[in-house]
Amino acid sequence: MGCHPADPDEGAPPGRHDISFYCDDIEKTMSELRGRGVEFTEAIADPGYGLVTHFKMPGGVEAQLYQPRYKKKKR
């Protein structure tokens, strides 16, 4: 489980897994993924820490795609 920098120190309920993918431009990434057949389950929302949406993965797993407000440090 990951912890988002803007979230309080709370974990997900037992048995639940959250998978998130980071991107720099959510609209561009969604367009590219739709072109490859990815199905998004909701519109882009802004929960405060960035722009997010969710999409279906094989096996019935749903994952989050997000464009954060913060900038990742380059390594």
Any domain includes 27:
yes
- How does residue 1 score in pLDDT terms, banded at 50, 70 and 90? very low
Residue range 18-65, pLDDT digits in tens: 789 999 999 999 999 999 999 999 999 999 989 999 999 888 889 999
Specify the pTM: 0.71
CATH number at residue 39: 3.10.180.10
Rounded CA-CA distance 27/6 in Å is 22
Q: Does residue 58 sit within a domain? A: yes
DSSP 36-68: TTPPB-S--B--SSEEEEEEE-GGG-EEEEEEE
With respect to residue 5, please indicate whether it lies within any of the assigned structural domains: no
29 within a domain of the structure (yes/no): yes
Query: Range of 35's domain?
Result: 20-68
Whether 9 is covered by a domain: the verdict is no
- The answer to whether residue 66 scores a pLDDT higher than 60 is yes
Residue 73 lies in a domain: no
Number of domains in the chain: 1
The verdict on residue 34 lying in a domain is yes
Residue 71 reports pLDDT greater than 80: no
